Structure 1
Amino acid sequence: MDKAKMICVALCAMPLPVAAQTDSVSKGVHLQEVVVAGDMVKREVDYINCIPTPKQRKHAHSGFELVRNMMLAGVSVDAGNGVITTPAGIATLYINGSKASVREITTLRPKDILRVEYYDMPTGKYANDKAVMNYIVRNYTSGGYTQVDAMQGVGYLKGDYNLISKYSLGHYNVNLWAGSSVQNPKVYSESTTDYLLDNPIRKQESSYDTDLKAVGRYVDASISRRTERTTWMLRGGIEVSTSRDDVLKGSLVYTGYTAPLVFANNVLERDKTVKPSLFLYYNRNFKGGKSFECSLNGYYARNTYKRNTLEDRAFVSDVNEDYTYLNFHTSYMLPLPKENNLTFSLIEFLKISQDEYRGSSPSLQHLRTSESLFFVDYTKRWGRKLMLVVRPGVSFLAYKLRGEQQVTHFAPRFHTMFSWSPAKQQALQLFFALGNTFPTLNTVNAAEQQIDRVLVRRGNPTMDNSTLLGPALTYTLNFKKWSALLSANYEYMSNAIANVYLRDNDRLINTYSSDTRYHQCQLLLSATWKPVSDFNVKWDGGYEYYCVTGAADERLGCCYARLGANYFLGDFSLSASARTARKDLVGCQEQIHLPFCYDLSGEWSHGNLSVVVTTRNPFMQGNERRRSFIAPNYQFFGRKVSELDNSFASVKVAYSLDYGKKVNRSPKYESKAAESSILK
């Protein structure tokens, strides 16, 4: 191995996350093996065509890892959580033009992926997505495979174990997914809370023996049929997740009373969700390039939450919730002359929650929310250099809380994009969006929870809907060995939700207010260098500034940088990444300081067997996260040292057995966590 390469790997190796979303095969594209002579990343009018190299495919074991190995400028991939982030936001995932789940992309076999279409200006059937990563894969008509993989952590209890099986027969595909995961990191924390009453009270907490365990299990199955004209899919399953966040040993001290109150810090917290789900999908392509698509995604969740804080008396939260979620989406795409098109979209969201609060503050809450959206998307192209997208629409929001009047809000929506490509390697893009949203479910209620001897948390059913607007600009350069991206965007939200703290004699009431304005500015510079096919380097740097006024008053600015590199050598690969310490604003008020982190990984892959060894933050034990929250009548400062942020290693082994003719690997199914309106 060349010494210069070795030095570069040692100093710069740090892989970064990448964002993935959609592309459509509804245009009747023939999926054949791609033989590339030229650029592997090529700018088209409204998307970037990304063709992975054989080594990038060989040393990836999921669709997320493949996009990460490709190192697209401005795109970051969190393969562990299944998230691809772009300058426009989180990318939506597709396989051959059909919307895909995180599990499907996680278990997608890279050697079956012909290319990835990255839509940074989604139009047509993707018009309602912020960005799209569409995986174009081979389709097979017979055979199948079964795959098992297991990841085991070293340093604390962490494991992820999965079984995936797929069989194809003619136009039909049957998939089965099953698996479980567990993690139980140790956490040490200490915090100081000031309740600024007429007679101020200070609460000092520490915990040095914790039990923070989360367990998840799932079983899912799907059947689908794909022809040149029609695609349909039926998928269903059940997921069970349990977690506990217990403080077994620690100290709790109140000062400000006549004499200090000293207790052992003892908190028992339990969460459990049982969630059966169902997903239906149908797509029909017509002559002349017209297409119709509809989907129904729904689940029912039985959520239980229990929290017991023991001081000189017990403060108990005990909530049972029945939660129903439905999302219906339909669109019709109509091609127009000169490669222009018109798309009509209708979207409906329905959420119903029934919460029974027991314990210290019993109550019964029923909340029904719905959102109806209608959009018309018009795309106009002038050759291969200019494109304009105009997307007007309307939104109707409604929510009804038991015992309260129904709240409705009818508002316009508007989104426009403009792209100019002066040369095939360059693109300048301008964006503007106007939207609206209603308050989050767990704040719009009349429930009340006693947190400790001073603090009472209470919902607010009378908050206003929010208006959002955001202009943005992106400039990209793509050459054979290097690429770069410069992005700037601004986001404004009126009637953002903030925590407010009201005095009530010797109690402090924590409730919510929508009398808040939220501003966020972001600047991102990203560059990728690929001097040879075996060695890739990527760097991201940026600046973020937050400004919150009204019910909350916050200012926060932060610079950050990330560096990553991959090196491929036959059956082996090495990668590394690092991220500087940074600050972030959660919600409108909570400041979080994240520590510096880095990771190293080595992988061996041969045939259907692969072994990956990963180490995160080796030789580090003192990494801590710090939190601060300052509001009128309330202050909080805390720090937490967790095994999640310090030295950790894992080993992952994956093996697949093919039978019959080879097929594209079945996706490992994973749906999003169930929502909840529980006030915690």
Structure 2
Amino acid sequence: MRILRRIIIMLALAANGGTTAFANSSELPDTLKVNNDKSVQLKEVVVESVRRKDIAEGIAFFPEKRDKRFATDAVSLLEMMALTELPYNPATKQVTDAGGAPVVYFIDGQQASPKELRSLNPKDVDRIEYLPMPTNASFGGKQNVVNFIMKRYVSGGFSKIIANQDLTGKSGNYSVNSKLAYKEMTYDVYLGGTYRNDNHYGTHGENTFKDIVYKGEEYGSISENIDGRNQTLRKRTLGAMLKATWRHKGVNLSATGGWNWERMPEFTGHTATVYSPDVLKSSYYDSNSSSLGINPYLKISLNLALPHQQSLMVLVNGQYAYHKGENIYSPQNLDAILNSSRNRRWSALIMASYSKRFNPANSLNISLIGSRGWNKTHYGGSYDGLSRYKEAHLELSATYSHTFSPGTLISASAGATCDRKSYVGNVYVQWLPSVSISFDKKWSKKSGFKLSTDVFSVGYFGDVLNDVILRSTELTWKKGNCNLRNRIWWQSVMSNTWNPSSTFSVTGRMIYTVVFNQDNPVWDRIDGYDGVVTTTVDDATSHRLTVGPLMTLKLLRKRLVLTGSFGYDYWRLTGRYKRDRSFLSGNLSATWYGKHWYAGASVVPPAENMQNSSITKVYTNWIYSFKFGYAYKNLNLRFSATNPGASRMSKIRWIDTQYYSQRVKTYSDFSANVFTLQLTYTLSYGKKVSKSVSSPSGMLGSGAMMPE
């Protein structure tokens, strides 16, 4: 009888075009009736057979059953899926695109906050869409979009509790959230809090002034050693959110309200400064700071599916922020100085996005964003006064996409941003034009190519628009520069992804970045000024080339998953400094999966890096971690250990020029010996259906499945 049922199922699949027919239908059936007596579940059959699929303006990924079982939120689901197009970095614990650019998260076509990403139930994810340059109005002109398409609850929902605790007592992150749906209404509620205790927070730096004049005398070098590595930081946060969503025949209306509360009861430190030779008297000071902030907000968004394949999205966001702080500064052998501040900020934003799909191959999006902010700060203590600050922001962008065939398309976006800032009677205006072009080519079902290029200009405002020289310290002065030109930034990313099977994927990438009129700090000797005078010049052009692969390999019936990346960087700077550097980077992770458990390890070797926008060189320390997880029904446990037995130093930052060099080490309790235990319990109830081929918010356009 069991064999007969299997034969009937296979014949039914063949009659309907196999699993591809289900993937392209308007709705994915939950069950298949056999002889009108029992229902055979087919949902998992479809998900297991289709891992990725081309869609109108990107690609859709279908998580496996195992990925959903062990994931606890949105980011951890992408970590479990191990996608080379969306790699997870074990050092930063963030997901980027293949070129290293950050992604923008959406859930069912609505931009998701960190609270919503943490609240997401991985078991309800139908698919994940990656849209490099979507034209659908729901995305508001954003690029590098990762859109989670969720199964819809007809009635019911789920409740979820997350308790994340560092076993040494240094930090904790706790939250509870629920989703409740009934017919056309959906309600989401979230409440969470965190705490952080860092007893060894701060930096230890050494500044060296070379061949300078101080008080009329020549010095070959003066060393300034500043030790503030053992500061104590205490921080507490609370956050709450309530969201209501109404969906009805192409209309999606949502309102989100909430507040954030943050308190820093203690930030104390002892900083000592020693000079060699002792041209200046060595000294120390103690400091003690505390602060309190609250931030209520309200956001309303409306998505409309209009006739003739048009869509419109309108977003209104308003928020208020209040922050107060106090600081006690106690220099050596001097009376303590008490300073306080009270800051109030109001801001409002409105965004409108319109999209039109002319035919299956051509679509257009136009987005407009405007915002206004007001800031008022009262100062008390050694300085008593009032500061007012206003800003306005306007952004316009247009994106056009043309699809040649499934997986092959070209997209272009052009826009401009204008910022106007007024402070203490001065008004500064900045224009930032930008252009982006993306081309995707599907060579075959197993291989695809992507080429993107971005160009934008960065202007200047603020204290760089003057030639005034002001003293910063006993040995340094600061000079503005009113002759700076606009910086032009251009980046091209070329990648090719090869997926010969569901067990192997590799993405080769080449990234070239050039910055014209790049800003660089300069330290010079100027007659009449002791020490050095620092200013900013833009006579340099920087070039950076990055090449290397991203890899995912699944072995032994996919029980062993290996992921990693390797990169070779060459960096060249022209102009005053004329420097050439090359360095290596990468990471490697291995995870073994059982039926209800997994165990893995990650390592990120120490790396040397040059920042694109600065001559600063950064050296990061080893990062290695171990993880173990267990999942059974509604319970998910995860234990992780990061850098056990390592030092608290996380990185070294240094600069070396003719008259000045600096070397700064950064320390934190969270750089080593971090042992974390996370418990997640999720309880689902009610009825839900799969909308595997619905576009975001039920609209046409980006996200619609493409036929084979």
Q: Which residue of 1 aligns with 2:190?
A: 177
Q: What letter is aligned with 1:629? A: I
- Are 2:223 and 1:202 aligned? yes
Q: What letter is aligned with 1:492? A: V
Q: Closer, same or farther in 2 for the Cα pair 1:264/1:372, shift >3 Å?
A: closer
Quote how far apart the aligned CAs of 1:176 are.
Answer: 1.8
Of the candidates 298, 308, 316, which is equivalent to residue 288 of structure 1?
Answer: 308
Comparing 200-209 with 599-608, greater Cα deviation is found at 200-209
Of the candidates 132, 137, 149, which is equivalent to residue 145 of structure 2?
Answer: 132
Quote how far apart the aligned CAs of 1:419 are.
Answer: 1.9
Q: Which residue of 2 aligns with 1:104?
A: 116
Q: Closer, same or farther in 2 for the Cα pair 1:159/1:36, shift >3 Å?
A: closer
Q: Is the 8 A contact 2:48 2:64 kept in 1?
A: no
Q: Is the 8 A contact 2:430 2:461 kept in 1?
A: no
Distance (whole Å) between structure 2 residues aligned to residue 451 and residue 272 of structure 1 = 29
- Are 2:668 and 1:642 aligned? yes
- Are 2:570 and 1:542 aligned? no
User: What is the percent sequence identity of the aligned residues?
Assistant: 18
Quote how far apart the aligned CAs of 1:137 are.
Answer: 0.7
Q: Closer, same or farther in 2 for the Cα pair 1:148/1:619, shift >3 Å?
A: same
- Are 2:625 and 1:613 aligned? no
Q: Is the 8 A contact 1:124 1:377 kept in 2?
A: no
Distance (whole Å) between structure 2 residues aligned to residue 154 and residue 451 of structure 1 = 43
Quote how far apart the aligned CAs of 1:220 are.
Answer: 1.8
- Are 2:551 and 1:527 aligned? yes
Q: What letter is aligned with 2:601? A: A
Quote how far apart the aligned CAs of 1:32 are.
Answer: 6.0
Q: Which residue of 1 aligns with 2:353?
A: 331
Q: Secondary structure at the match of 1:155?
A: coil
Q: Closer, same or farther in 2 for the Cα pair 1:634/1:328, shift >3 Å?
A: farther
Quote how far apart the aligned CAs of 1:349 are.
Answer: 4.2
1:488-521 Cα offsets, whole Å, 9 max, x none, are 2223344555445576744766666666655443
Distance (whole Å) between structure 1 residues aligned to residue 187 and residue 82 of structure 2 = 33
Q: Which residue of 1 aligns with 2:600?
A: 575
Quote how far apart the aligned CAs of 1:631 are.
Answer: 4.9
Q: Rg bigger for which structure? A: 2
Q: Which residue of 2 aligns with 1:297?
A: 317
Q: Secondary structure at the match of 2:243?
A: strand
Comparing 413-422 with 195-204, greater Cα deviation is found at 195-204
Distance (whole Å) between structure 1 residues aligned to residue 467 and residue 242 of structure 2 = 39
Distance (whole Å) between structure 2 residues aligned to residue 347 and residue 141 of structure 1 = 34
Q: How does 1:51-90 map to 2 (within 5 A)?
A: 51-77=62-88, 83-88=94-99, 89-90=101-102
- Provide TM-score, normalisation by structure 1: 0.83
1:424-450 Cα offsets, whole Å, 9 max, x none, are 222222222222344588989999998
Distance (whole Å) between structure 2 residues aligned to residue 539 and residue 576 of structure 1 = 12
Distance (whole Å) between structure 1 residues aligned to residue 150 and residue 409 of structure 2 = 28
Q: Closer, same or farther in 2 for the Cα pair 1:57/1:143, shift >3 Å?
A: same
- Are 2:49 and 1:38 aligned? yes
Q: Which residue of 2 aligns with 1:19?
A: none
Distance (whole Å) between structure 2 residues aligned to residue 69 and residue 170 of structure 1 = 32
Distance (whole Å) between structure 1 residues aligned to residue 338 and residue 543 of structure 2 = 37
- Are 2:183 and 1:158 aligned? no
- Are 2:599 and 1:599 aligned? no
Quote how far apart the aligned CAs of 1:662 are.
Answer: 6.7
Q: Which residue of 1 aligns with 2:411?
A: 389
Distance (whole Å) between structure 2 residues aligned to residue 441 and residue 213 of structure 1 = 33
Distance (whole Å) between structure 2 residues aligned to residue 518 and residue 319 of structure 1 = 41
Q: What letter is aligned with 2:238? A: R
Distance (whole Å) between structure 2 residues aligned to residue 632 and residue 70 of structure 1 = 49
Q: What letter is aligned with 2:96? A: T
Q: How does 1:295-374 map to 2 (within 5 A)?
A: 295-304=315-324, 308=329, 310-313=331-334, 319-355=341-377, 365-374=387-396
Distance (whole Å) between structure 1 residues aligned to residue 469 and residue 298 of structure 2 = 33
Q: What letter is aligned with 2:303? A: N
Q: How does 1:393-408 map to 2 (within 5 A)?
A: 393-408=415-430
Of the candidates 495, 503, 509, which is equivalent to residue 487 of structure 1?
Answer: 509
- Are 2:250 and 1:229 aligned? yes
Distance (whole Å) between structure 2 residues aligned to residue 428 and residue 415 of structure 1 = 17
Q: Secondary structure at the match of 2:152?
A: coil
Q: Is the 8 A contact 2:54 2:407 kept in 1?
A: no
Q: How does 1:112-131 map to 2 (within 5 A)?
A: 112-125=124-137, 126=139, 128-131=141-144
Of the candidates 239, 245, 257, which is equivalent to residue 218 of structure 1?
Answer: 239
Q: What letter is aligned with 2:239? A: Y
Q: Closer, same or farther in 2 for the Cα pair 1:342/1:624, shift >3 Å?
A: closer
1:260-290 Cα offsets, whole Å, 9 max, x none, are 6233453434454322222221100123322
Comparing 498-507 with 113-122, greater Cα deviation is found at 498-507
Q: Size of the alignment, in residue pairs? A: 636
Distance (whole Å) between structure 2 residues aligned to residue 469 and residue 102 of structure 1 = 30
Q: Is the 8 A contact 2:84 2:551 kept in 1?
A: yes
Q: Closer, same or farther in 2 for the Cα pair 1:428/1:584, shift >3 Å?
A: same
Q: Secondary structure at the match of 2:547?
A: strand
Q: Secondary structure at the match of 2:47?
A: coil
Q: What letter is aligned with 2:511? A: N
- Are 2:677 and 1:651 aligned? yes
Q: Which residue of 1 aligns with 2:205?
A: 191
Q: What letter is aligned with 2:621? A: P
- Are 2:293 and 1:273 aligned? yes
Quote how far apart the aligned CAs of 1:95 are.
Answer: 1.2
Q: Closer, same or farther in 2 for the Cα pair 1:408/1:206, shift >3 Å?
A: closer
1:518-552 Cα offsets, whole Å, 9 max, x none, are 54433241011123233321111112344455687
Quote how far apart the aligned CAs of 1:303 are.
Answer: 3.9
Q: Which residue of 2 aligns with 1:93?
A: 105
Q: Closer, same or farther in 2 for the Cα pair 1:548/1:80, shift >3 Å?
A: closer
Distance (whole Å) between structure 1 residues aligned to residue 380 and residue 571 of structure 2 = 38
Q: Closer, same or farther in 2 for the Cα pair 1:553/1:142, shift >3 Å?
A: farther
Distance (whole Å) between structure 1 residues aligned to residue 475 and residue 379 of structure 2 = 20
Q: Closer, same or farther in 2 for the Cα pair 1:292/1:455, shift >3 Å?
A: same
Distance (whole Å) between structure 2 residues aligned to residue 163 and residue 144 of structure 1 = 14
Distance (whole Å) between structure 2 residues aligned to residue 548 and residue 349 of structure 1 = 37
Q: How does 1:370-381 map to 2 (within 5 A)?
A: 370-381=392-403
List gaps (5 residues or longer) in structure 2. 1-23, 31-42, 691-708
Q: Which residue of 2 aligns with 1:473?
A: 494
Q: What letter is aligned with 1:202? A: S
Distance (whole Å) between structure 2 residues aligned to residue 272 and residue 549 of structure 1 = 46
- Provide TM-score, normalisation by structure 2: 0.80
- Are 2:436 and 1:436 aligned? no
Quote how far apart the aligned CAs of 1:465 are.
Answer: 4.8
Q: Is the 8 A contact 1:315 1:452 kept in 2?
A: no
Q: Is the 8 A contact 1:280 1:295 kept in 2?
A: yes
Distance (whole Å) between structure 2 residues aligned to residue 31 and residue 398 of structure 1 = 50
Distance (whole Å) between structure 1 residues aligned to residue 581 and residue 322 of structure 2 = 38
Distance (whole Å) between structure 2 residues aligned to residue 139 and residue 340 of structure 1 = 29
Q: Is the 8 A contact 2:82 2:88 kept in 1?
A: no
Distance (whole Å) between structure 1 residues aligned to residue 234 and residue 461 of structure 2 = 27
Distance (whole Å) between structure 2 residues aligned to residue 184 and residue 402 of structure 1 = 38
Q: Is the 8 A contact 2:133 2:142 kept in 1?
A: no
Quote how far apart the aligned CAs of 1:211 are.
Answer: 0.5
Q: Secondary structure at the match of 2:444?
A: coil
Comparing 54-63 with 355-364, greater Cα deviation is found at 355-364
Q: Closer, same or farther in 2 for the Cα pair 1:361/1:145, shift >3 Å?
A: same
